[in-house]
Amino acid sequence: METAVDLFVALARLPTPPGQERAAIDLVSSVLAGFGVASAEDDAGSRIDGDAGNLYARIPGTVPGTPLFFNAHVDTVPPSAAIEPVVRDGYIVNAQPTILGADNKASVAGMVDGIRKVLREGLPHAGIELLITVQEETGLRGAKAFDVGRLEATIGYVYDVDGPPGRMVMRAPSQISMDITFLGKAAHAGIAPEEGRNAIQAAARALAGLEFGRIAAGVTRNVGVVAGGRQRNIVPDRCTVQIELRSLVDADMAGLAQEVIDACNLAAVATGCSVELAQAREYTAYALSDRDPVVVLARQALRAAGCEPVEIETGGGADTHVFNERGLSCLNLSSGMEAIHSQDERIAVADVEALSRITVELIRAASA
């Protein structure tokens, strides 16, 4: 595993759905040790019901400058078949009909290989920290469980957005998850339907009164799960609904949530049901400026690595949210991955190699 591509292929072969990252964490730790970098695993696994914690390594600087931290995650969405990476027409794909795992193992490989090059070539650096997180795909749980007080660097980079290398996420949204339960009354659907209170009907009425999809620029609302009922001839006394809200402007979130609450309460009253609502903030929106040092360094490094910087907004979440919310300055960079979370997922060999170059150039720029 002497190249970024070699390491990515080795990592991709390992099935690591959230909570089952042990093999990948052990592999990364072994590779780091192979070029003289000691790493330590925290206790996040035991605290968030996983078989592995986050992996952390720190390399003291050799010159003055800006220390940097790098972050990527090793968990993937659950694969539905074996993962057999192969190269076709310059792209790494899975020969089997399921995910590849470029999200986010290609970034892990690029970061590790870039750090290896810096150390082997004796390049001066101002301090490097590497954090490999677990359970990102289920709500950034690994990053949330990590003690960021361990980080000496206050500027960091995550490579966890799709598209060709060079894209910089300048704005990302807040997200609120809502779990809603409508409670009705069971009755025989044919003999005494008037004695029942239909919880599914209540849920349907509430959802019909709400707008979903892209509500406005940078604002989305989605209903992802609806479940209820026991069998065809019973008036359903329970129906659960899962909704998520996202907005690039955090101030919008309260109003988006209140619209859901009002629609659910009205539907419950109209159908004689009751409703229970719970909501949780998953992460908070952030916005970066062209003048922020984390962006200035990235522009310089991307150009040096042969990638043209492009500013973008995203509707997705990443570990970047956690670090920015906790007072650090963190920028999410694109990794080249395509069609993530699908059986068409792929990444160009050249883009995996580019991630290594970008890591080297970020470290070089921070030590100038």
The three-state DSSP-derived secondary structure of 163-221 is CCCCEEEEEECEEEEEEEEEECECCECCCCHHHCECHHHHHHHHHHCCCCEEEECCEEE
Element (H, E) at 14: none
Tell whether pTM > 0.85.
yes
- Average pLDDT per consecutive 10 residues, the chain (368 residues; last block may be shorter): 94 98 98 98 97 98 97 97 96 98 98 98 98 97 97 98 97 98 98 97 98 97 97 98 98 97 98 98 97 98 98 97 98 97 97 98 94
The rounded distance, in Å, linking the Cα atoms of 219 and 84 is 38
DSSP 1: -
* pLDDT at 219 (0 to 100): 98
* pLDDT at 215 (0 to 100): 96
* pLDDT at 66 (0 to 100): 97
| Per annotation, catalytic residue among 103, 113, 129, 136 | 136
The yes-or-no answer on residue 162 being catalytic is: no
* pLDDT at 1 (0 to 100): 73
The rounded distance, in Å, linking the Cα atoms of 141 and 158 is 16
| Per annotation, catalytic residue among 21, 75, 129, 351 | 75
The yes-or-no answer on residue 75 being catalytic is: yes
Closest by CA to 324, choosing from 365, 289, 274, is 289
Report yes or no: 164 and 258 within 8 Å, Cβ to Cβ: no
| Residue 123: Cβ-neighbour burial (10 angstroms; 0-12, 13-18, 19+) | middle
Closest by CA to 8, choosing from 85, 76, 79, is 85
Domains in the chain, start-ordered, CATH in brackets? 4-172+285-366 (3.40.630.10), 174-282 (3.30.70.360)
Q: Reduced to 3 states, what is the DSSP secondary structure of residue 132?
A: strand
Closest by CA to 134, choosing from 146, 123, 147, is 146
**Cα-based angle 165, 16, 14 (whole degrees, multiple of 5):** 85
* pLDDT at 85 (0 to 100): 97
